[in-house]
Structure formats: structure tokens, C-alpha cells
């Protein structure tokens, strides 16, 4: 199975990069399943129902959020009604929405996507992501009753992301980090067969400070006595994603490939 997982989409320019590159990749690599993190897709803060529908129309199977998933007014009814739009699983049980999904591909393969939130330097405090994920995984055995399991870990600390990757190694197909908007160059397959990347990066304008206009953030750091209205950067975006190929029998990863397409940090596309 070929799975593409896209990093945090930031504002309009990020959405435009997904619209530009996703159809090309889907066709070129015959992708079976697509996951997109949309935590910053609506003006840099959260997601709306209309924007989510745009991603589904582009071919996304599952959308994941993060600490901004509840930011937009009126989004809660959408989160409750749409099982393909995930909020972090390890929040309190009364939290609206869905924290994981079971989906079948066009070929009938079952894919489980689990969305977790880190607990270091996060504005939302939830339950232990390690324990929460472990309990959920007691329902699924990779290669037995599920063909692939993908974990999107929306976390600040690289160490927390690394630790979860090793904790789940051999139990899931892929663990990817999101949230920091900086793509790490450590994509690999761990010892027991799980694909891993500390952070996918963002689909957004990198001539910025993690998606915001650089002038706004520089002023925020240098003139702390003034109030700055943070605006999203509007230049050309780089599309960042990880493609994972899995074994059809075991569900474990057989290859990984990171993409950085367009914008100022583009890595040339090699067929």
C-alpha cells in the first residue's frame, strides 16, 4: 500500500500548494491513502467545514488537526458529524469529535489513523499519549485485522516524538510528527519496521516564521511592549509530505520518501 501523509497546511497559500501537487503525486505514485494535517488551514488557525470539503475533493481520505482544531467558530458540529476529520484522541472523553478512524481503501484494505497530542509545552492538556495509544491498539493487530496503522503525533518536543516512534515500533505502519512546521530530514524505517519522521514540516510559505509574516514575528520578539497582529505569510508555499509504502502482508513499512516541492526550500523532484 502507498500512503501519503502531508504536513500542517498553513493558510491559503498552503492550501494552494496541496491543490497544486497532490493530484500529481496521487497519479504518479498510484497512492492508496492520503492523510493531511489541517490544524492551521483556515487563516493559520484551525479548520472550517468548507475548507475540509476542499481537501476531501482533492482526494484526502483523513484530515487531522491538533491544538488549533477547535479555533474556528461553529466547527464543533462539523467535528462531531464528520468521522474523517480527527481531533486528538488523548483528550478527555467528553471532547467533541473523533480521535481515530477506521477507513477502507478503494482496494478494500483497512487503514486506522490515530491522532495524538503531545503533552510538553502544549496549550491543551490531555491524557498520556503513550498509554492512550497503547490501550487503543489493543483492538488492532497489524497484518491481522488491519492492513495499516498511521499515527499523527502533534507535539512540540522532538524527544517526545522520537520516544513515541520507538514505543510504537513494530506495532504500527508509520509514526509522523506534526506541529512545529519545520521538516526534519530524519525520515527512515525504525528497527522493527515502522516508518518515522520527527516532523513532516508544513505546506506553507517558508519565507516566514513558521507560516506567519516574518516582519510580524520579528517585531513581536524585538518590541515586546507593543501588540502585534499576526498575519499569515502569502508567498509561494512548499508542499511537505512523506510517502510510506507498506508490505501487504505485515502492514510494516518497506520504503519512505519525503517530498519538499515548490517554494524556497524545494528539493528537486527526482522520479
Which residues form the catalytic set?
A: 68
Q: How far is it, in rounded angstroms, from Cα 60 to Cα 53?
A: 9
Q: Which three cell numbers stand for residue 203?
A: 505546506
Phi, psi of 131 (to 5 degrees): -65, -40
Q: How far is it, in rounded angstroms, from Cα 134 to Cα 55?
A: 30
Q: Which three cell numbers stand for residue 158?
A: 522532538
| Cα separations in angstroms, 98 against 22, 200, 250 | 25, 22, 27
Amino acid at each position: 500500500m502507498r500512503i501519503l501523509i502531508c504536513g500542517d497546511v498553513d493558510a491559503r497559500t498552503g492550501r494552494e500548494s496541496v491543490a497544486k501537487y497532490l493530484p500529481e503525486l496521487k497519479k504518479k505514485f498510484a497512492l492508496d491513502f492520503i492523510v493531511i494535517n489541517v490544524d492551521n488551514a483556515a487563516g493559520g488557525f484551525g479548520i472550517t467545514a468548507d475548507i475540509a470539503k476542499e481537501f476531501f475533493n482533492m482526494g484526502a481520505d483523513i484530515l487531522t488537526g491538533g491544538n488549533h482544531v477547535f479555533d474556528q467558530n461553529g466547527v464543533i458540529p462539523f467535528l462531531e458529524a464528520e468521522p474523517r476529520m480527527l481531533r486528538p484522541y488523548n483528550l478527555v472523553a467528553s471532547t467533541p469529535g473523533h480521535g481515530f478512524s477506521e477507513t477502507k481503501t478503494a482496494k478494500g484494505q483497512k487503514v486506522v489513523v490515530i491522532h495524538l497530542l503531545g503533552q510538553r509545552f502544549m496549550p491543551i492538556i490531555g491524557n498520556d499519549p503513550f498509554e492512550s495509544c497503547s490501550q487503543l491498539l489493543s483492538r488492532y493487530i497489524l497484518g491481522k485485522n488491519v492492513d495499516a496503522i498511521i499515527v499523527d503525533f502533534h507535539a512540540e518536543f522532538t524527544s517526545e516524538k522520537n520516544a513515541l516512534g520507538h514505543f510504537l515500533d513494530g506495532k504500527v505502519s508509520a509514526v509522523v510528527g506534526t506541529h512545529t512546521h519545520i521538516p526534519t530530514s530524519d525520515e527512515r524505517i525504525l528497527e522493527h519496521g515502522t516508518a518515522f519522521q520527527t516532523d513532516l514540516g508544513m505546506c506553507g510559505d517558508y519565507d516566514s516564521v513558521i507560516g506567519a509574516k516574518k516582519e510580524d514575528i520579528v517585531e513581536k520578539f524585538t518590541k515586546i511592549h507593543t501588540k502585534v497582529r499576526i498575519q499569515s505569510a502569502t508567498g509561494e508555499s512548499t508542499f511537505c509530505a512523506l510517502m510510506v509504502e507498506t508490505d501487504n502482508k505485515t502492514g510494516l513499512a518497506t520504503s519512505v520518501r519525503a517530498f519538499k516541492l515548490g517554494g524556497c526550500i524545494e528539493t528537486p523532484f527526482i522520479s
